[in-house]
Chains A and B, each alone.
Chain A
Amino acid sequence: MRSRRRLLAWTARRPHLPGYGLLAPGLAWLAVFFVVPILLVAGYSVMRRGIYGGVEVGLTVEHYRRFFEPLYLEVLGRTLLWSLGATVACLVLGYPVALAIARAKRWRQVLLVLVILPFWTSFLVRTFAMIFLLRDTGLVNRALLTLGVIDQPIQLLYTPFAVLVGLVYGFLPLMILPIYASLEKVDDTLLEAAEALGARPRARFFQVILPLSMPGVVAGCLLTFIPALGSFVTSDLLGGAKQVMIGNLIQSQFTTARNWPFGSAAALVVMGLVLAIVVAYLRRPDREALVG
């Protein structure tokens, strides 16, 4: 009886307790399937390489040192460059689309479904489809030949350009959707107020619409840049063997190269890099003004 009363008093002093109860399943899931794997990877990254894959007991920083050799830094640099290029291309292509959808009153729902439509098929299948577009006898080359723009098929497939096209195609919806979401919230009265105050269309865009959609732009860029950084299917299928991205490197360490510790070290370095970029991005001094 007495212990029961004490328990009640203890819970009464902690009004947030039921909230933690609701969080528990999610926390447990994250602990088992997110935290533990990361700790495993972190553990592998400082162990010795097993001859037939796996790891052997021992402590070494050799894998990290190896990652910073020019060969691998070049892969990392290329990955950053392509991911950045894909992000910029997605932004340039996606912003007008998001703006058009936000302005379209009647067709808005249809257009949104069209943006999401590609997600209904596997990314792998869609990337294969890109091969049929880009190869020498593909749709693009044949169209250009027929129109007489070129007399020889141009090499599109297995070039950095193909990888960029594949990345942009894959991640464009992830850029469009958050930008649309923040544009849709911009009150039309603000644009009328700006117009009444003398703002021409250009000024209305750059001084009202664009700043107010910055949260969406930031979210869209992160949602595009981060998966692009970790992607390996696109570069594998469209880039050929020469144009390796960091994702391919890590994947191959766990499969063909059988160097788990090095793969783990590379994965952790990339993770740290992404984390640093995200933190830097979200802590910009003007962020307060944008969302506030």
Chain B
Amino acid sequence: MKVRVVELHRVSKTFANVRAVDTVSFRVDEGEFFSLLGPSGCGKTTTLRLIAGFETPDADGGEVRIAGARVNERRPYERGLGMVFQSYALFPHRDVERNVGFGLEQRGTPRNEIPSRVAKALELVRLDPATFTKRMPAQLSGGERQRVALARALVLEPRILLLDEPLGALDLKLRKQMQLELKALNRSLGITFVYVTHDQEEALAMSDRIAVMDHARIAQLGNPAEIYENPRTAFVASFIGDSNFFEGEVERANADAVMVTRATTRFLVPGDSNVPGGATVRIAVRPEWMDLFAVGAVPEGENSVVGTVAEVIYLGETIHVLLARDDGEPLKVALRNEGQLANPIGWRRGARVAAAWRPEDCQVLAEDP
């Protein structure tokens, strides 16, 4: 039986006539790594602050529950949460030891216990206590400050840790390393993580489940594979990874396949897509699910469009081929790099080529809310 540690039930928050969070509902299970992902201004940080207690829902704005109990009226320090801020928010006038020990002091932990608990928390975030306890925040690098901020929250052994874009200010390499460490901490400590980020790759890499937010609402909620491989709206399909979009009218639908037409091209779409005949639908296809063929050499049963190669971009792991479709729309195809020195791809700028993909790789999108 999974325990619902955090639960939002139709929560809304309005700032001066602007809905920052609009009827959002979700639940987070114990020990889960749950991410709120979205562009800036989508309401993800406000959602986190509603859980933390720095914001309260509107009067008719639903319920925030922690461990099953309504906490709308509780102050942050009455919620038993840890929080890590994007700016780290270390106390500049206190050394590392007194920063990490701050929460313990507030709880009235005996003075003689504090140093050992601080040292333990620092070791948890891989900072050597002997080196760091007496340093001031101004003497730390960005990554070290991040770790101190994390230790300061973890020392109180919270059941839930809220993280607001904690890695946003770190360089790429350090960010990747911290992602792994955070994930490892989430596993080893059994603490529930609620993580806010605008970085889709980060969310995919770390999360058990992701809530993609757009315009104050949840656009889609699911595990990383569901979000990436089965995006429900055009927003999700374009915000997480790249997508090529097609629009067309449903010609006929049967159990196996849906025929979608647009001008002279026809696409087959998986039959379980629940669309009635005559409706206009949008379809998304990931660039890496497409392949390039000589015009006329497309395998039987696959969808295809013809275009002209506009650009070939060498990215190391992959090669992106940008096409200009005959109807003028751009199209991106990502090919796996199988060694351009030994076995170069045959497509050059200006070449006529067909981009093809299998019907089951089409995602039929719902309208954006």
**Measuring CB to CB, which residues of chain A are less than 8 angstroms from any residue of chain B?**
187, 189-190, 192-200, 203, 207-208, 211-212, 289-290, 292
Contact = CB atoms under 8 A, between A and B. Distances in A.
Contact of A192 (B85, B91, B156): B85
Given A212-B93, A290-B93, A193 B85 contact: yes
26 contacts: A187-B87, A189-B87, A189-B89, A190-B91, A192-B54, A192-B85, A193-B91, A195-B76, A195-B77, A196-B76, A196-B81, A196-B153, A197-B102, A197-B103, A197-B106, A197-B153, A197-B156, A198-B106, A198-B107, A199-B106, A200-B77, A200-B106, A203-B106, A207-B105, A211-B93, A292-B136
A283 B106 CA distance: 31
A125 B347 CA distance: 88
B82 interface: yes
Given A197-B77, A292-B138, A190 B156 contact: no
A289 B136 contact: yes
Contacts, number: 61
B322 interface: no
A242 to B, nearest CB: 46
Contacts of A203: 106
B106 A208 contact: no
Interface string B52-86: 10100000000000000000000111000111010
Contact of A198 (B52, B77, B90): B77
A189 B85 contact: yes
A269 to B, nearest CB: 37
Contacts of B77: 195-200
A194 B93 CA distance: 13
A195 B152 contact: no
Interface centre among B54, B92, B153 (most CB of A within 10 A): B92
Interface centre among A192, A193, A199 (most CB of B within 10 A): A193
Contacts of B138: 292
B: interface residue count bin: 20 to 34
Query: Interface of chain A, helix or strand or loop or mixed?
Result: helix
Nearest to A197: B103
A70 to B, nearest CB: 44
Interface string B98-131: 0000110111000000000000000000000000
Given A198-B156, A292-B136, A192 B89 contact: yes
A107 B105 CA distance: 36
A196 B106 contact: no
A208 B105 CA distance: 13
B78 to A, nearest CB: 9
B81 to A, nearest CB: 7
Given A208-B91, A289-B136, A292-B138, A196 B83 contact: yes
Contacts of A197: 77, 102-103, 106, 152-153, 156
Nearest to B92: A212
The 10 closest A-B pairs by CB, nearest first: A198-B106, A197-B103, A193-B89, A196-B83, A189-B89, A198-B77, A211-B93, A195-B76, A196-B76, A199-B106
A141 B102 CA distance: 51
Contacts of A289: 93, 136
A149 to B, nearest CB: 42
A161 B85 CA distance: 50
B52 A196 contact: yes
Given A193-B90, A195-B76, A196-B81, 14 more contacts: A187-B87, A189-B85, A190-B91, A192-B54, A193-B85, A193-B152, A196-B83, A197-B102, A197-B103, A197-B156, A198-B106, A207-B102, A207-B105, A289-B136
A192 B76 contact: yes
A194 B54 CA distance: 12
B4 to A, nearest CB: 22
Contacts of B75: 195
Contacts of B87: 187, 189
A22 to B, nearest CB: 30
A176 B13 CA distance: 36
Contacts of B91: 190, 193-194, 208
A192 B89 CA distance: 9
A85 B89 CA distance: 37
A236 B93 CA distance: 43
Contacts of A292: 92, 136, 138
Contacts of B82: 196
A116 to B, nearest CB: 29
Contacts of A192: 54, 76, 83, 85, 89
Contacts of B105: 207
A133 B233 CA distance: 73
A200 B106 CA distance: 8
